[in-house]
Amino acid sequence: MLKSFDIYSQNNILKIIVALNLLLVGTGSLLYTNRLISRLEDREEHYVQLYAKSIAYLFGSNSINAGDLNFVTSEILEANKSIPAIYVNPDGQIAGKLNIEVPSNLTDAEIEQFLRKTIDEMRNRHQALVVDMGNGERGLVYYNNSSLLRQLQYFPYALLTILTALGVLAYLAFSSSRRAEQNRVWVGLAKETAHQLGTPMSSLMAWVEYMRSDPAQYDESITDEIEKDVRRLETITARFSSIGSIPTLKDENLNEVVQQFTDYLARRISTKVKMSVSSQLPANQTVKINKLLFEWVIENICKNAVDAMKGVGELRLNLTPLPHQEVAIDITDTGKGISKKNIQKVFTPGFSTKQRGWGLGLTLAKRIVEEYHNGRLFVKSSEVGKGTTFRIVLSAER
């Protein structure tokens, strides 16, 4: 049975809606400004055409009385205060300019040079307009976009950048608050559990002492068994209480910790599961861990492995050094494996394929490894029907 309480699926839909909206606003404004720009460009070209025509009228061979048309040019010059244009006469000389600010204190030669450079820039942007001066003579008007239009061209990109930045910020804020909430739930639940278990446990311990004091009445072997269980409960409580606070890390000999805990587990699982430990680490390799929590991780992964093998198979733990002062603990089983589709999901809270599974074991293990030990936990490999290897990576830096 596949069970997965997708507690975040609603958030995902929300995220998609927000992202789609941003995209819509972004492309919408891009299209709109592009249209606006092309219309403005048409208008500006029209102005320049008027300018070119007025030059032809005023200075061309069959020009009408120049005086009569003076008002036209002045009107045009009035109307257009922002489109830069340069007129080059049929002889190739610069004979007029509009809305071009020439830096002061330039010599005539430098002014000429400056204008020629400006013409080159203009030529890259717009084709020059031809001014027919009559007699087959032709002048050219070069022009550029007005500063307003030039600014407008950057607008959609500025807008897109801002929208993207907003989107990223919103996402970060959203996921960090979700993380913070998850953290509070974990820590709160763990503390509460440890707290609640505390009272009945000290009472149980007192009962064990009482039973020990009267061996005639209470069989010692039974008392021993009860005490073992109480000790086990104590370990569980200690685990919960250390995950509920900032756990202290201590240098531990990794080979020894893993070997001892594997021996402990081997006594508690089916004898049809062959457990073995191998190590390529130096015998004295130490790693900073919280032993109690680290053992909990190993236990969760091994229990899953035993479940996946239905109690029969091989469970191997292998310790290897990695580059960059890291060590790997690989836990390999010969169980049913995990399908490609599910590999992504096994660490999601609530994901379980078991009838009586809570889907929290691996979530907890990952949390312990990554949040408390700054390490990594992942499925190294898995093949359906063959088995699975989980890998824990810890830093061995001193």
Among ligand ADP, Mg ion, none, the one that 359 touches (CB under a kind-dependent 5 to 8 A) is ligand ADP
Residues 52/95, Cβ–Cβ less than 8 Å: no
Report 369-388 residues binding ligand ADP (CB under 6 A): 388
* Partner from ligand ADP, Mg ion, none binding residue 354, C-beta < 5-8 Å depending on class: ligand ADP
Tell me whether residue 54 or residue 352 sits nearer to ligand ADP (CB atom). 352
What is the Cα Rg of the chain in Å?
Answer: 40
**Phi/psi of residue 12, nearest 5 degrees:** -65, -40
Spatial contact of 243 and 186, defined as CB atoms under 8 Å apart:
yes
Which one of 80, 242, 304, 334 is in contact with ligand ADP (CB under 6 A)?
A: 304
Q: For the chain, what percentages of helix, strand and coil (3-state, to nearest 5) are there?
A: 55, 20, 25
Q: Which residues of 366-393 are buried (b: 16+ CB within 10 A; e: fewer)?
A: bbbbbebbebebebeebeeeebbbbbbb
**If contact means CB under 5 to 8 A according to the sort of partner, which of Mg ion, ligand ADP, none does residue 351 touch?**
ligand ADP
241 binds, among ligand ADP, Mg ion, none (CB under 5 to 8 A by kind): none
Segment (H or E) for 141 = strand 138-143
* Spatial CA neighbour of 46 closest among 92, 16, 80, 73: 80
Q: Residue 393 and residue 398: Cα distance in Å, rounded?
A: 15
Size of the site for Mg ion (CB under 5 A): 2
Minimal CA–CA distance to 392: which of 265, 373, 308, 338?
373
Rule CB under 6 A: choose which of 352, 375, 393, 394 binds ligand ADP.
352
Q: Which does 98 bind (CB under 5 to 8 A by kind): ligand ADP, Mg ion, none?
A: none
Site map (CB under 5 A) of Mg ion, residues 287-306, x = contact: -----------------x--
Q: Choose which of 354, 378, 380, 381 interacts with ligand ADP (CB under 6 A).
A: 354
Minimum CB separation of residue 299 from Mg ion in Å reads: 10
Interface residue list for Mg ion (CB under 5 A): 304, 361
Interface residue list for ligand ADP (CB under 6 A): 300, 304-305, 308, 333, 335-338, 346, 351-354, 357-363, 388
